[in-house]
Structure 1
Amino acid sequence: MTTNDEAAAAPDSRYAAALDTAEQMLGFRLERFLGASPGEPVNGADFKRIATMHAFGDVWPRDEHLDTRTRALVSVTIAATLGVLEPLRGQLRIALNVGATREEIAEVFLQVAVYAGVARAFEGYQVATQVFAEGSEG
């Protein structure tokens, strides 16, 4: 049987581990996006914590059936298809950081163009070229 203190510490350690996984995949600490925004309700922090733990603590580490590189390319495809450009930027960074090539990512956008539309793919590819340029700097 666990004590209340142990039960309270378990989510904190899971959250910390999820944040560490996010940093490894993104190349930067995620906390800069998790702070409270003006007017945000108190339980907004719960949403951010739960979403972070689910994505980077529960789903991304699963590699028994889908390796991380493939999962990243799938995530790029989904974000591009949905047209969610800031999440796409993060998914592109993850894909590059876990070994996907720029050429593979370009192929993803060809696939998006066929099944989700050229305009949607072109808009997402513009984000990809910005992320590619980040890797060329420095």
Structure 2
Amino acid sequence: MARDGAEPSYARALAMAEQLLGIPLEQFLELGPGEPENAADFKRLATAHTFGDSWPRTDVLDTQTRALVSVTIAAVLGTLEPLRGQLRIALNRGVTPEEIVEVFIHIEAYAGAARAFEGYQIAKQVFEEAVDTKKV
């Protein structure tokens, strides 16, 4: 899934993903063993919609707010690997660890302690990564 030769909107989505995540997304989009060819279509469509259509909409919600909403959604759904990515995006966009902890306090109040603690374990790991790479 290289950017070369990609349609311009998809290339913009990949660039936005890299800007938000701090790493190229392509490594996660390559087809793995056993994946059917149409999985590439799924990954392209999801990437184009998420990073090409949703994230750039900053007229009403700024990127930091959108990042906190995304952290909340991933944590409440219990999608832990996507939560890891959303936490990285949040930190890369200037959201502080203290603000993220406040999100987990609010998640605990409304979605329950078990869900909040499970997600917070991922947040702790991402905080440690950020310290190791000097991003916090």
- Tell me, yes or no, if structure 1 residue 118 matches structure 2 residue 113: yes
User: Residue in 1 aligned with 2:98?
Assistant: 103
User: Residue in 2 aligned with 1:52?
Assistant: 47
Higher helix share: 1
User: Residue in 1 aligned with 2:59?
Assistant: 64
Deviation at 1:83, TM superposition (A): 0.4
Instruction: Give the gaps of 5 or more residues in structure 1.
Output: 1-8
Q: CA offsets per residue over residues 117-137 of structure 1, 9 Å max, x none?
A: 101100100100100001111
Deviation at 1:17, TM superposition (A): 0.8
2:132 alignment partner AA: E
- d(CA) in 1 for partners of 2:95 and 2:37? 38
Deviation at 1:39, TM superposition (A): 1.2
1:107 alignment partner AA: E
Regions of 4+ moved over 3 Å: none
- Tell me, yes or no, if structure 1 residue 43 matches structure 2 residue 38: yes
Q: How does 1:8-27 map to 2 (within 5 A)?
A: 12-27=7-22
- d(CA) in 2 for partners of 1:136 and 1:95? 14
User: Residue in 1 aligned with 2:131?
Assistant: 136
- d(CA) in 2 for partners of 1:136 and 1:94? 15
Deviation at 1:54, TM superposition (A): 0.2
2:38 alignment partner AA: N
Q: CA offsets per residue over residues 19-39 of structure 1, 9 Å max, x none?
A: 010000000000110000111
1:38 alignment partner AA: P
Question: What is the TM-score when the length of structure 2 is the normalising length?
Answer: 0.92
Which entry has the higher C-alpha Rg, 1 or 2? 1
Deviation at 1:62, TM superposition (A): 0.2
RMSD in angstroms over aligned alpha carbons? 1.0
User: Residue in 2 aligned with 1:6?
Assistant: none
Q: What secondary structure sits across from 1:104 in the alignment?
A: helix
- d(CA) in 2 for partners of 1:123 and 1:72? 19
Q: CA offsets per residue over residues 59-94 of structure 1, 9 Å max, x none?
A: 000011110100000000000000000000000000
2:23 alignment partner AA: F
- The size of the alignment, in residue pairs, is 129
